[in-house]
Amino acid sequence: MTQHNLSNTISLLARTPAALNALLRDLPETWTFHNEGENTWSVFEVIGHLIHGERTDWMPRVTMIVQFGEAKTFEPFDMSGHIREIQGKSLGDLLDEFARLRSENLAQLRALNLQPEDLKRRGRHPALGEVTLSEHLATWAAHDLTHLHQISRVMAHQYREAVGPWSKYLGVLQCAGHSA
C-alpha cells in the first residue's frame, strides 16, 4: 500500500478524461444509456456525476481547506447534481465538458504549488469531520477509479444473459456494486 504522492495523483487525474473518451465516445447506446435497474445510473449519468464533482467538489474544497482550514465546513455534495449536468446533452458533450473542467481544475491545482506540509492541512467534512488535504486529493483520484469500476460493471451487466454459462467466470458479473 502506497503513501499518497501528489504527483502520482495528478498523473492519474490527468488521464481519466482521455481514457473515458477512448472507451465511450460513439459507442452504441446499449452500452452507455442502460443502467443496472431501478435507482441505478447509466454510464451517461456517471459522466454527469463526474462533471458535477469537477464543478462543485474537488477544487472548491481544496480552496476552502487552503483558505479556511477547519474553520469552514465543506458544502455537502449533491448526489443528484448530475441531473442538471446531463439535461439536453449528448454523451459526446459530457465527455468534452468533463475533459475541459478537469484540465482547468488541474491547472488550478498545479498553480497552488502545494508542498508536503500543505498536504497536512485540515478541513472539515460535513459527515466525516476532520480530513486532511492529502486525503481529499487521494480521494479525488480514487473516486475516478470507483466510477471506472462502476462503468465497467454497468456495461458488463448489459451482457449478463448474452454470455450464457460464462457468467460464473466473469468477476464483474458477481460484483454487487458496493453502492457506487
The residues binding a copy of itself (CB under 8 A) are: 1-5, 7-8, 11-12, 15-16, 18-24, 27-28, 30-31, 34, 125, 128-129, 131-132, 134-136, 138-139, 141-143, 145-146, 148-153, 155-166, 169-175, 177-180
Name the minimum Å distance from CB 140 to a copy of itself.
9
Distance CA 62, CA 43 (A): 27
Within 10 A of 27 (CB to CB), how many other CB atoms are there? 13
Name the minimum Å distance from CB 87 to a copy of itself.
25
Name the minimum Å distance from CB 94 to a copy of itself.
16
Across the chain, how many H-helices and E-strands are there? Answer: 8, 2
Q: Which is nearer to a copy of itself, 3 or 87 (CB)?
A: 3
DSSP string, 68-123: HGGGSBPPPP-TTTHHHHHTT--HHHHHHHHHHHHHHHHHHHHHH---HHHHT-EE
| Exposure on the CB side of residue 18, measured as CA atoms within 13 A | 6
Q: Which is nearer to a copy of itself, 29 or 87 (CB)?
A: 29
Give the CA diameter of the chain. Answer: 56
Distance CA 117, CA 123 (A): 14
Q: Which is nearer to a copy of itself, 87 or 168 (CB)?
A: 168
Q: Which is nearer to a copy of itself, 66 or 99 (CB)?
A: 99
Name the minimum Å distance from CB 92 to a copy of itself.
14
Name the minimum Å distance from CB 65 to a copy of itself.
13
